[in-house]
Amino acid sequence: MRIILLGAPGSGKGTQASIIEDKYGFSKISSGDLLRQEIEQKTNLGLKAQEAMDKGHLVSDELVGEIIKKRISSQDCKNGYVLDGFPRNISQAKYLEKMDRRRKETVLEIELEEKVLIQRLSSRRVCVECGAVFNLEGRPSKKKGICDACGGLLIQRRDDKPEVIRERLKVYQQQTKPLIEYYRDKKVYFPIDGKKTIPEVFVEISKILDKRLEEDRVTRQSP
């Protein structure tokens, strides 16, 4: 199974992808995290990606495609994976299908109104060491500014500034939203109400995943 999480910036893709990985054992692949690692390691790819990310624009399909392909071909993805932030446009969706052809897909879009997205992104804090995600309002760390998981420092992401947030939301509407019709036509698209708490959103997601996995099992068993 390949799970694709769609949703505007701040909708909770990364949060839910981590829970899906924990509960279902599907490896989490986050294109944003992979790009941030490249930036941290000051690789050529990272240097090229940084400029686009700081503006809230998409990194080129070639660069993102390269790191996703490498990640998907690793051993831990053989039994399935959950994609957070990829694909972001139709051309990336087609690339994914070509790269890993026979896998059943489930596409979940976490829906949330813009006002709440902006609120969540402005109050998000991430750990510089392990990448754990917190929220000053909804999910604060026990000790202010310190990660509960590893004791690392919590910071605000560079692209969580108000003007970059606005640009990212615009880019989502223009370039990523068309994927909804694309996946609806393929009959693999499921919208999820993102307004609830993190555990409640996961309950909605797991209802769909359990059903899809069961369908998959039955199909495999039938001659």
Q: Which residues are catalytic?
A: 13, 88, 124, 157, 168
Stretch that binds ligand G5P, among 20-28, 54-62, 99-107, 180-188 (CB under 6 A): 54-62
Residue 12 as a binder of Mg ion (CB under 5 A): the answer is no
Residue 46 as a binder of ligand G5P (CB under 6 A): the answer is no
Residue 28 as a binder of ligand G5P (CB under 6 A): the answer is no
Q: Which residue has the tokens 């893709």?
A: 13
Residue 10 as a binder of Mg ion (CB under 5 A): the answer is no
Stretch that binds ligand G5P, among 96-104, 132-140, 177-185, 205-213 (CB under 6 A): 132-140
Residue 90 as a binder of ligand G5P (CB under 6 A): the answer is no
Closest approach of Cβ 105 to ligand G5P, in Å?
A: 16
Neighbour tally for 11: CB within 10 Å: 23
Residue from 7, 10, 14, 65 in contact with Mg ion (CB under 5 A) = 14
Q: How far apart are CA 204 and CA 194, in angstroms?
A: 10
Stretch that binds ligand G5P, among 21-29, 70-78, 127-135, 185-193 (CB under 6 A): 127-135
Neighbour tally for 192: CB within 10 Å: 23
Closest approach of Cβ 85 to Mg ion, in Å?
A: 6
Cβ nearer to ligand G5P, comparing 180 with 216: 180
Residue 53 as a binder of ligand G5P (CB under 6 A): the answer is yes
Binds 59: which of ligand G5P, Mg ion, none (CB < 5-8 Å by kind): ligand G5P
Residue 168 as a binder of ligand G5P (CB under 6 A): the answer is yes
Closest approach of Cβ 151 to ligand G5P, in Å?
A: 19
Neighbour tally for 97: CB within 10 Å: 15
Q: How far apart are CA 214 and CA 98, in angstroms?
A: 25
Residues of this chain that bind ligand G5P (CB under 6 A): 7, 9-15, 31-32, 35, 52-53, 56-59, 64, 85-86, 88, 92, 120-121, 124, 133-135, 138-139, 159, 168, 194, 197-198, 201
